[in-house]
Amino acid sequence: MIHIIDASKILLSLASTALLATSQVVIGASPSPFPDISIPFSAHSLGVKNIFYFRGESGVPDQKNEGFTSNAGFVVTIQGVIVFDALGTPSLGAAMVNEIRKITDQPITHIVVSHYHADHIYGLQALKVLTGAEVIAQKSTHLYTDGRDSEKRLKQRQQALAPWVDKTTRVVPPDLAFKDEIILHSGNDRFSIYHAGPAHAPGDSMMMVEPAGVLFAGDIIQSGRVPFLNSPQVDTENWMSAIEKVKKLNPVVLIPGHGKASENAMEALNFTYDYLAFVRNKMKAAADNWISFEDAYRQVDWSRYEELPAFDASNKGNAYRVFLDMEQKALVSE
């Protein structure tokens, strides 16, 4: 059953709910029903004693990487383990459970999902079967789970990632869907989960872990490359306000959805924030003054971003998308 919660702010306290008692499935010593992986797989320590992450290889999911292309992580508290993201196959999800078991006997109580894209969610099935943990995601994930794209992607992965994705693989929807933010307390740790999308997917969310100051940023914060904004689903205003919220929490370490963890979280956040602000300011000025997009684009000095990866591929499309938004807003406020 899915609980859709519309309140803009939700507080969950493990101490005051019966989640632990009802959600834990005891599987004893029964073997995992999911095919084993053969790639090296282990949890990396972050130098923070209770937080770990799994780092996928960059690239497209294929037979060689066995679908291990994204990151996931977990936080061990005295009341249970909170997992962030579930990797790209049920077998990888099962491997995560194995690795977590090497570190702690605490029950895995929750899995928070950054966004519903295949490379981050197929592991949910195994996590669910093996632990019974509650899946938390932003409520617009139903756009993915109910949609055709999800079926098409699953068929593609059944071919590309056999035997780890097969006929029995299914997309697991969230048990608890939130709208704007949700705060979860477990043991001495506090988890602030914010909706930041629609950014690169409708449900894009980030999770801040305190007191450690570790931010799981999903796919929307990448330092040192031009982010992708050119989709009708992107809302740069929401994106910026979510970054503002996590910046206030002063994160130290940032774990992106792909690539290496960054030990300078604020730098990565500021980079993405400043890029969004820059494009928005320039395109707003153009729309307000009835300057055509081509002229406006040519007049902007892009030199601070020109040398970065993905500039050629993304920047003009990004600017155009934001220009259209600003034009729309200028018309409405006329």
Nearest to Zn ion of 119, 189 (CB atom): 119
Q: Which residue is nearest to Zn ion (CB)?
A: 219
* Helical pair 236-248 and 265-288, crossing angle rounded to 10 deg: 150
* Position 232, amino acid: P
Half-sphere exposure of 177 (CA within 13 A, CB side): 19
List the 214-218 sheet strands across, edge first: 9-13, 181-186, 189-195, 205-210, 214-218, 253-256
Q: In whole angstroms, what is the distance from residue 320 CA to residue 296 CA?
A: 10
Q: Which stretch binds Zn ion (CB under 5 A): 67-75, 176-184, 229-237, 311-319?
A: 67-75
Is 199 or 283 the residue whose CB approaches Zn ion more closely?
Answer: 199
What is the spatial distance between Cα 59 and Cα 62, in angstroms, rounded to a whole number?
9
Q: Which of residues 68-87 bind Zn ion (CB under 5 A)?
A: 70
Could you say whether residue 204 binds Zn ion (CB under 5 A)? Answer: no
Nearer to Zn ion, 70 or 138 (CB): 70
Residue 219 interacts with Zn ion (CB under 5 A)?
A: yes
Rank residues 70 and 89 by Cβ distance to Zn ion and give the closer one.
Answer: 70
With respect to Zn ion, which residue has the nearer C-beta, 23 or 223?
223
Q: 85 or 134: whose CB is closer to Zn ion?
A: 85
> Which range of residues in 3-11, 52-60, 114-122, 271-279 is near Zn ion by CB under 5 A?
114-122
Taking CB under 5 A as the criterion, the residue among 73, 90, 256, 257 binding Zn ion is: 257
For the CB of residue 258, give the shortest distance to Zn ion in the complex, in Å: 6
The answer to the question of residue 123 lying near Zn ion (CB under 5 A) is no
Residue closer to Zn ion (CB basis): 50 or 70: 70
What residues pair up with 59 in beta bridges, in sequence order?
none
The minimum distance between CB 196 and Zn ion, in angstroms, equals 14
Instruction: Indicate the pairing of strand 80-84 with strand 44-45.
Output: unpaired
**Shortest Å, Cβ 248 to Zn ion:** 26
For 283-333, the DSSP string reads HHHHHHTT--HHHHHHHS--HHHHTSTTHHHHHHHHHHHHHHHHHHHHHHT
Tell me which stretch binds Zn ion (CB under 5 A): 7-15, 124-132, 157-165, 250-258: 250-258
Quick one: which segment of 112-120, 124-132, 264-272, 324-332 binds Zn ion (CB under 5 A)? 112-120
Q: Smallest gap, in angstroms, from Cβ of residue 120 to Zn ion?
A: 5
Give the interface size with Zn ion as a residue count (CB under 5 A): 4
The span of 6-14, 63-71, 246-254, 323-331 binding Zn ion (CB under 5 A) equals 63-71
251 vs 257 by CB, closer to Zn ion? 257
Distances (CA, A) of 217 to 2, 93, 125, 176, 322: 24, 19, 22, 20, 22
Please, how many CA atoms are within 13 Å of residue 114, restricted to the half-sphere of its CB? Answer: 29
Residue 88 CB, shortest distance to Zn ion, in Å, is 9
Distance of CA 199 to the CA centre of its chain: 11
Stretch that binds Zn ion, among 40-48, 116-124, 193-201, 317-325 (CB under 5 A): 116-124
Q: How far apart are CA 55 and CA 41, in angstroms?
A: 9
Task: Label residue 220 left, alpha or beta by phi (over 0 means left) and psi (-120 to 50 means alpha).
Answer: alpha
Which residues lie across from 12 on neighbouring strands?
184
Q: How far is CA 170 from the centre of its chain?
A: 19
Chain positions contacting Zn ion, by CB under 5 A: 70, 119, 219, 257
